[in-house]
Structure 1
Amino acid sequence: MSKCEKQMKIPAIYMRGGTSKGVFFLEEDLPTDPIERDKVLLRVIGSPDPYGQQIDGMGAATSSTSKVVVISKSDQPGCDVNYLFGQVAIGQPLVDWSGNCGNLTSAVGSYAIYRGLIDVPQNGVATVNIWQKNIGKKIIAHVPMKDGEVVELGDFVLDGVAFPAAEIKLEFIDPGADDGDTDGGAMLPTGNPIDILRVPDVGELEVTLINAGNPAIFVSASSMGLTGTELQGDINSNSELLKRFEVIRAHGAVAMGAAESVEYAMTKRQHTPKIAFFSEAANYTTSDGKKISSEDINILVRILSMGKLHHAMTGTGAVAIAAAAAIPGTIVSRILGNTMSELRFGHPSGSLRVGAVAENEDKGWVVKKVVMSRSARRLMEGSVLIPKTIE
């Protein structure tokens, strides 16, 4: 006999931010107990799904679309709203709260305005000061306004997104970790721009371990037998290569103090650190058939997210890349041939410009700010529905 049980409604907005999309909630609309909250969010997204499709939820079976955001008013000095990001695993009952989503950051300011959490100008640009709770950092979003409403449509083109929209400028303030942080330590956790990582069944590998935006592990494409021009099909169809990337990522997480063990990194901390590979600028064809000339970019980069090659670039990955480009001796600056405060890199869907302000202080290199532009748009407003009783 089937259950005659009604569903419950939770107010939500489904939003695209950058090259990701997720379900946005007010903190007050979710359970206060973290365990119960995660059960609700898993059910909203449709995880865990043994079929890997998230058919019975709002997720779309990729790392870019299996995401949740929780927003509240902030009591942090100089901040308007708190932003908490959850990366929802597809096949496991796991919401990973270990890091930020830089892409969805671009939708946080707009969401806060939609929900009436801040006062904004009728016209011009609304400055939204965001406290990113996952990593304890401030981000400033500059949201265009007209007649008291967020401007969503425009002609700003973001590679990896099919349609143009209004440009939203983001400033990631002091994105590198501080010496007092417990989650990965300083921006260069080992103090070295390059370390030798010893990985069983892989061997010794040169890596840059960096904590900016999110923890990240950078390697050269050549060290993995790759060119840097690969697209999703080239990487994601190679299960052995993906396993090698994951074991390197897990060992790198331990080396930079972001995970207590390799097993923990592989089972409980899948969202961060990210792992990316780099190569010298070269001509290549993007996933949608565009021709990218080596003359129009400074470097090639591909980043993996939740065990798969990302179709474009993670926002926090771009932050870490900008930071590494500005610091001498990293994998990135070495491939570039010099440090760069502003660069354009090629990714599977096109290219992205990003800039960093870095200074060499007594305690080492410090990145004061990383700047980039993204876009965001509401896709649906209303409520999500889930069973009142969740197993």
Structure 2
Amino acid sequence: MANARLRAVFMRGGTSKAVMFRKEDLPAKPSDWDPIFLQVMGSPDPNGRQLDGMGGGISSLSKICIIGPPSRPDADVDYTFAQIGVHDTFVDYGANCGNMSSAVGPFALDEGMVTGPANGEATVRIHNTNTSKIIVARFPVEQGALAATGDIEIDGVGGKAAPIRLEFLEPGGARTGKLLPTGRAVDEFDIKGLGIVKASCVDAANPCVFVEASAVGQSGDELPDALDRDAVFLQHMEAIRCAASVKMGIAPDLDTARRMTGIPKVAMVSGPRAGRTLSGREITAADADIWVRMISVGQPHRATPITGAICLSVATRVPGSIPAQLSNANGPIRIAHPSGVTLVDAGVSISADGIAKADYGAVYRSARRLFEGNVVYRTTE
């Protein structure tokens, strides 16, 4: 065994953190990446802490981003996202991370992979290879890099930073090829212990399954720690996720769906209500248009994943869907989550034959370069 080193950057993007690699620094065969990524994150860890790596013991802190030259003419860079399991050896390339998408443009500019103004606004067209979708990132630049300060505050992240606008163009069908993979705004699933449960299966930015909180015995304002202790609730949500995965055509059967822990994401939603955030701040019924509690890789999120927020915003524009029935948004959509409120927007058009099409989804995030240098991993050479 010997130690090897790889050039890397550690960045925060939105409410997530990831180790960022230039594709040129990684082995030529993507099949050789997984063992490296698992070591870098410190997985698998039966203790769930990833102390032997860069991970933080939860899904939002166990991520890898690979940035390389564009493979299509309408993009400036290619971006591949990998979700790394905490307890297991699963490396999932099946979906994108919207939060980390906000770090890709500034990373590419810092690394000299794209050009931008010395001062002003940079625009970076990002091809996410996981979903084959284009994301346009716009952000302020000072002295050739992402502005060090700004006025945007993100719930779940302390302080203020420069705003990064992410525009997900035509996000529908990111994984399945259809905004509504089942062809319906609402489906019914027979779930052991619950009976018939109605859910909306929507594929925009990332495929997600939305179920009303009351259908799974919740009020909708529960905080992550309480949900994490509710084993029955988590089992029910996983059963819904797996059943929807098969129905959406993502997995061929339930066994495969259980192994594909990253997608689809599953969430419970509720209408405007009063509740508190993780910091104890009160959110009133007038502060948000819809509430969400999202689960990824079996863990309740402490904030809303951005691709999940984009998917939810699109879902609220789909006539008849469960989010559309619960939301009272007329303009931009305010999504309440455990860390606060996220503002998003979306456009959905309906064709003459009644087919819904997602035109766009947009959100504001922030990002920061935290560390640069080399990560160390072991090789058998």
Of 148-157 and 138-147, deviating more is: 148-157
Structure 2 residue ranges without an equivalent (≥5)? none
Of 292-301 and 15-24, deviating more is: 292-301
Question: How far apart, CA to CA, are the structure 1 residues paired with 2:239 and 2:271?
Answer: 25
Question: How far apart, CA to CA, are the structure 2 residues paired with 1:174 and 1:299?
Answer: 23
Question: How far apart, CA to CA, are the structure 1 residues paired with 2:365 and 2:358?
Answer: 20
Matched residue of 2:60: which SS?
A: coil
Matched residue of 2:315: which SS?
A: helix
Displacement of 1:203: 1.8
2:345 corresponds to? 355
Which of 309, 319, 327 is the equivalent residue of 1:328?
319
Structure 1 residue ranges without an equivalent (≥5)? none
Instruction: Kindly indicate whether residue 165 of structure 2 is the aligned counterpart of residue 175 of structure 1.
Output: no
1:378 corresponds to? 369
Using structure 1 for the length normalisation, give the TM-score. Answer: 0.94
Which of 301, 305, 321 is the equivalent residue of 1:310?
301
Question: How far apart, CA to CA, are the structure 1 residues paired with 2:331 and 2:248?
Answer: 25
1:124 corresponds to? 120
1:90 corresponds to? 86
Question: How far apart, CA to CA, are the structure 2 residues paired with 1:379 and 1:389?
Answer: 30
Which of 22, 45, 50 is the equivalent residue of 2:46?
50
Instruction: Kindly indicate whether residue 272 of structure 2 is the aligned counterpart of residue 276 of structure 1.
Output: no
Using structure 2 for the length normalisation, give the TM-score. Answer: 0.97
Displacement of 1:299: 1.4
Q: What is the root-mean-square deviation of aligned Cα atoms in Å?
A: 1.4
Q: Deviations over 1:164-209 (max 9, x none)?
A: 211100100000017xxxx424110111111111234432110000
Which of 211, 221, 231 is the equivalent residue of 1:219?
211
Which of 340, 343, 346 is the equivalent residue of 2:333?
343
2:106 corresponds to? 110
Question: How far apart, CA to CA, are the structure 2 residues paired with 1:284 and 1:110?
Answer: 35
Instruction: Kindly indicate whether residue 178 of structure 2 is the aligned counterpart of residue 186 of structure 1.
Output: yes
1:73-88 alignment runs, 5 A limit: 73-88=69-84
Question: How far apart, CA to CA, are the structure 1 residues paired with 2:344 and 2:276?
Answer: 21
How many residues are aligned here?
380
- Give every structure 1 segment of 4 or more consecutive aligned residues whose post-TM-superposition deviation is greater than 3 Å: none
Over 3 Å counting, the alpha-carbon distance change for 1:92 and 1:42 in structure 2 is same
Q: Is the Cα–Cα contact under 8 Å of residues 194 and 216 in structure 2 kept in the other structure?
A: no
1:18 corresponds to? 14
Equivalent residue letter for 2:302: H
Q: Percent of aligned positions with the same letter in both sequences?
A: 38
Matched residue of 1:294: which SS?
A: coil
Displacement of 1:264: 1.1
Q: Is the Cα–Cα contact under 8 Å of residues 191 and 236 in structure 2 kept in the other structure?
A: no
